[in-house]
Chain A
Amino acid sequence: MTRRLDILARAAQFQAVFLEQGATVVEADVLQSADTLLDLYGEDIRARAYVTSDPLRGEQMLRPDFTVPVVQMHMDHGAEPARYTYNGVVFRRQEDDPSRANEYIQVGYEVFDRSNPAQTDAEVFALIHRALGDAPVRAATGDIGILTAAVMGLKTTDRRKRALMRHIWRPRRFRALMNRFSGRAGDVDSRIALLAKSDPMAGAGPLLGLRSRAEIIERIDALHQDAAADPISAQEVELIDAILRVSETCPYAIQQLRDIAVDLPAISVAIDRLSARTDALSVQGIDVDTLMFEASYGRTSMEYYDGFVFGFHAADRADLSPIATGGRYDALTRRLGHGQEIPAVGGVIRPDLVLEITSDKTGGAQ
């Protein structure tokens, strides 16, 4: 019980820092519409969130985070620009690791502001950095926007770009698609046979289910068009790989990316944004010369974060989840906004983990 009170006290301290910055306190329902979350994250969310139901409202989920309800609230009736803070319990289903908490407090800070993305990115990072004080953490940053700009800049068909964009956050499928589109991996026999047939529907048997004959023919046509398209060049594949390998302190990372941009100019604008953000971080007092930048950071765990991403990890406790995480999620506001879009960036701190890694965790015990 004492420990829980300690966590609540620590959470209140963090929120005080966010309030000082001018944030408004917001609340969110514990029970969230399962439809919305399933729509966003697909079936995978069931492995991470608790699902419950009643005959009236159907499936509901215990909130796995605050981001979605805060975005919905802001888009329904928020004034701009806005800064919000929240402090409450989130619930995470655990299937594999009994040491991970399934219920813990998150204290968050979210900014909806169209004016200057580099500055708001830096504001959120610097604020969380400051709030964590001398807790033994190391920070890592990334920017999904570099990879998406690279994909959009490939000299290939729009359909291939869309397919790659759809799997930006699933590295294994992304890699498989790159291998296929570049000809590194040959087509499987079944596809070669299918494309060789003059009447592919011959001998297909009865039509069954909702997927219509027209949909099947449409996909076969798409496969024909794709087979006729030039492969993505080995040089472009190597450039994407080179981007994903970038893992350096910010100044060196920018330099490496500039070198890559000589052959892939489509990423130049994204690098300019990274560069402007790095300058803004420096103005906020962050030592960017030692701050790490990893181009693939957050790619597996932060779906819909499509620009700046960051995490603070326990310096010598690799077993712990990140102490604080955050980033820019314009893509999420686009998905939830039905056509509207609001540039948004935010971050959360886990006070329970901060207590675990700071020496004052026993303070107040007994």
Chain B
Amino acid sequence: MTIKLGVPSKGRLMEKTFDWFAARGISLSRSGSDREYAGRVDGIDGVELVLLSAGEIPRELAAGRIHLGVTGTDLIREKLSQWDQRVQMLVELGFGHADLIIAVPNCWVDVDTLDDLDAAAAAFRAHHGFRMRIATKYHRLVREHLKTVGVADYQIVDSQGATEGTVKNETAEAIADITSSGETLRANHLKILSDGLILKSQASLFRSRYGELDAYDQAVMQKLMQLLGL
């Protein structure tokens, strides 16, 4: 058996993850050609690198098919209900910072808070005959948050990309998305509600609470945690 470590399969998230492990004496790399999602691990025996889409890592952790995984807290909380009973957050990695926020058009000068958004949603429904649309891919997090604070008369429309453009295209009135610098929002004439922060997220290392470890794996896990200073 081996300890399976799931890491995002491309982009800056993968590179930064490789750097983070390298700084702790564990070298992760992609083996074979650039297009092949196979990896290798040097610096410790008994650990296997599994390259996956960051969005699939929560599911694989919850199923116990990987023992450790690097992904964003936003994805863990969106995709896993009772996430803290299914995975354990070991350490925040200090990169991949992103805030899940609610944003509305700049020209809505009367809307600055969720209280305003709720009142505007009621009036919007009365005017247009349908509930105000909020475009997002974070359905559960947004719905739970708006339920908690008591916003009504809205609907979630699915948007898996280019979410900032949905308002201009009139497929949504507001958006809920992750942002790091806010530049894309500004370029699209959107502003963040002053109390519109739903979640602060960053790349983190998670351990699955499922999946049995044999004696050998347990020893490997212990050594790995030592190397990582955990």
Chain B contacts of A201 at CB under 8 A?
107, 109
Chain A contacts of B200 at CB under 8 A?
none
Of B82, B113, B119, B152, which is within 8 A of A170 by CB?
A: B152
Name which residue of chain A comes closest to B120, CB basis: A219
Query: Does B107 contact A219, Cβ atoms closer than 8 Å?
Result: no
Chain B contacts of A46 at CB under 8 A?
139, 143, 156
Chain B contacts of A114 at CB under 8 A?
none
Judge if A176 is at the interface, Cβ distance under 8 Å. Answer: yes
| Other A-B pairs, 18, CB within 8 Å; known A210-B170, A220-B110 | A38-B131, A46-B143, A46-B156, A47-B144, A167-B150, A167-B152, A172-B149, A173-B149, A176-B150, A191-B112, A208-B105, A208-B167, A208-B189, A209-B170, A210-B128, A211-B105, A215-B127, A216-B108
Query: Does A211 contact B81, Cβ atoms closer than 8 Å?
Result: no
Count of B interface residues, CB-CB < 8 Å? 44
Query: Does A43 contact B170, Cβ atoms closer than 8 Å?
Result: no
Chain B contacts of A172 at CB under 8 A?
148-150
Of B107, B148, B194, which is within 8 A of A207 by CB?
A: B107
Judge if A194 is at the interface, Cβ distance under 8 Å. Answer: yes
Judge if B35 is at the interface, Cβ distance under 8 Å. Answer: no
8 Å CB interface, B118-145 against A? 118-120, 122-124, 127-128, 131, 139-140, 143-144
Given known contacts A166-B122, A219-B123, is B147 in contact with A47 (CB within 8 Å)?
yes
Query: Does B156 contact A194, Cβ atoms closer than 8 Å?
Result: no
Of B105, B120, B128, B154, which is within 8 A of A43 by CB?
A: B154
- Alpha-carbon distance between A168 and B128 when the two chains are bound, in angstroms: 24
Chain B contacts of A207 at CB under 8 A?
105, 107
Chain B residues engaging chain A, CB cutoff 8 angstroms: 81-82, 105-110, 112-113, 115-116, 118-120, 122-124, 127-128, 131, 139-140, 143-144, 146-156, 167-168, 170, 172-173, 189-190, 194
Judge if A163 is at the interface, Cβ distance under 8 Å. Answer: yes
Given known contacts A96-B81, A210-B128, is B150 in contact with A204 (CB within 8 Å)?
no
- Alpha-carbon distance between A32 and B170 when the two chains are bound, in angstroms: 29
Query: Does A95 contact B120, Cβ atoms closer than 8 Å?
Result: no
- Alpha-carbon distance between A38 and B122 when the two chains are bound, in angstroms: 15
Given known contacts A46-B143, A200-B110, is B127 in contact with A209 (CB within 8 Å)?
no
Chain A residues engaging chain B, CB cutoff 8 angstroms: 38, 42-44, 46-47, 95-96, 98, 163, 166-167, 170, 172-174, 176, 180, 188, 190-191, 194, 200-201, 204-211, 213, 215-216, 218-220, 223
Query: Does A219 contact B150, Cβ atoms closer than 8 Å?
Result: no
Name which residue of chain B comes closest to A218, CB basis: B123
Chain A contacts of B113 at CB under 8 A?
188, 190
